[in-house]
């Protein structure tokens, strides 16, 4: 039977998130540098000249030493943003009537048969989806249609559970009830002393198919 695709992931634009971190760091650096420059009694703003442009030049030129830390932080965040962007761009999730496959949040290829999935959940941050198996939880983030994917997988799991219960019921119904009655009769014969324990055990194995 041909595999049927039920839902495919749609990703949020990762550019906004990747640009946000270094932008916040830059804004904080500018704000912090202005405050420190004005409050630093060793800066030119307190040398009697009250030349604010010199104070700013002194601060942003590294004179107070604090913005150097921010420069390092910004560089680190820019590198992290580039790495995150490449990872986020590769995230992919496809749900079919037989399996769930794609690339997770770390760019790792995953292919999960429905029978191996034990639970499905959502994460609070980054519009994430967590697919749980016996081996652990696999996460997919930045999903624009997270709720649609969650519902698709949940419906498949519920359908699978319903089929398993039906099969279990059919098996129980097909089990001969006469075997239990027959075993009960031989137990009564054993208790009354009409047959030996060995005879009872042999008949029990025969009836139970052991």
Domain membership of residue 99 (yes or no) is yes
Q: What is the sign, positive or negative, of the torsion defined by CA atoms of 155, 159, 160, 165?
A: positive
* Final residue in a domain of this structure, among 89, 122, 150: 89
Model confidence pLDDT, tens digit, residues 47-67: 555 455 555 555 555 555 555
Q: Which of 79, 76, 113 is nearest to 95 (CA)?
A: 113
Pairwise CA distance, residues 37 & 66, whole Å: 10
Domain membership of residue 1 (yes or no) is no
45 and 111 together in one domain: no
Model confidence pLDDT, tens digit, residues 2-41: 889 999 999 887 677 667 777 777 777 677 666 665 655 4
**26 in helix, strand or coil?**
helix
Cα→Cα distances 112→2, 67, 128, 153, Å: 17, 48, 18, 12
Q: Which stretch of DSSP H or E encloses residue 139?
A: strand 136-140
155 and 119 together in one domain: yes
Residues facing 7 on adjacent strands: 95
108 and 74 together in one domain: no
**CA angle in degrees (0–180, nearest 5) for 189-194-199:** 75
80 and 112 together in one domain: no
pLDDT of res. 1: 62
How many domains, in total, are found in the chain?
3
85 and 138 together in one domain: no
Range(s) of the domain holding residue 195:
178-208
Q: 148 pLDDT exceeds 90?
A: yes
pLDDT of res. 46: 46
* Final residue in a domain of this structure, among 89, 112, 133: 89
Asked if 163 and 114 count as a contact pair (C-beta separation under 8 A), the reply is no
Domain membership of residue 157 (yes or no) is yes
Domain membership of residue 173 (yes or no) is no
194 and 164 together in one domain: no
79 and 101 together in one domain: no
Model's pTM, two decimal places? Answer: 0.54
């Amino acid at each position: 039977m041909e595999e049927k695709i039920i839902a495919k992931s749609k990703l949020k634009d990762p550019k906004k998130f990747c640009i946000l971190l270094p932008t916040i760091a830059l804004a904080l650096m500018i704000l912090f540098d202005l405050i420190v420059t004005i409050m630093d009694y060793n800066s030119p703003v307190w040398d009697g000249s009250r030349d604010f442009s010199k104070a700013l030049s002194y601060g942003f030129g590294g004179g107070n030493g604090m913005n150097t830390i921010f420069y390092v932080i910004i560089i680190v965040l820019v590198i992290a943003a580039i790495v995150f962007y490449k990872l986020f761009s590769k995230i992919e999730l496809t749900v079919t009537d037989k399996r769930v496959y794609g690339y997770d949040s770390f760019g790792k290829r995953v292919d999960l048969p429905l029978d191996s999935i034990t639970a499905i959940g959502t994460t609070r941050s980054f519009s994430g989806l967590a697919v749980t198996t016996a081996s652990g939880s696999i996460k997919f983030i930045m999903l624009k249609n997270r709720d649609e994917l969650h519902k698709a997988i949940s419906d498949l799991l519920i359908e699978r559970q319903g089929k398993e219960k039906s099969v279990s019921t059919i098996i129980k119904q097909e089990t001969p009830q006469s075997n239990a009655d027959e075993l009960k009769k031989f137990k009564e014969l054993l208790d009354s002393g009409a047959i030996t324990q060995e005879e009872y055990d042999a008949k029990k194995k025969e009836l139970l198919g052991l």
